[in-house]
Amino acid sequence: MRFPPCGLQQVLLTYGDPRGFHDNQALWEETILRYLSVPPGMFLWLGQSVRTIRVHNLAAPSFGQVVHTLAHNGVSGIEYGGTYNFRLNRNNPNQLSTHTWGIAIDLNPTKCPNGSNPNFQDVRLIAAFREAQFVWGGTWAHPDPMHFQLAEGI
Instruction: Output 13 or 88, the one with its CB closest to Zn ion.
Output: 88
- Tell me if 106 contacts Zn ion by CB under 5 A: yes
- φ, ψ (nearest 5 deg) of residue 65: -60, -45
- Tell me if 79 contacts Zn ion by CB under 5 A: no
DSSP string, 81-98: EES----B-SS-TTSB-G
Coil/strand/helix, residue 136 = strand
Beta bridge partners, 37, equal: 52
Instruction: Output 104 or 112, the one with its CB closest to Zn ion.
Output: 104
- Tell me if 147 contacts Zn ion by CB under 5 A: yes
The closest residue (CB) to Zn ion is 147
The candidate with the shortest Cα–Cα distance to 109, out of 74, 73, 131, 85, is: 85
In contact, 142 and 51? CB cutoff 8 Å: no
Residue 108 Cβ vs Zn ion, minimum distance, rounded to whole Å: 11
Residue 104 Cβ vs Zn ion, minimum distance, rounded to whole Å: 5
Stretch that binds Zn ion, among 29-37, 44-52, 72-80, 146-154 (CB under 5 A): 146-154
Q: Which residues bind Zn ion (CB under 5 A)?
A: 104, 106, 147
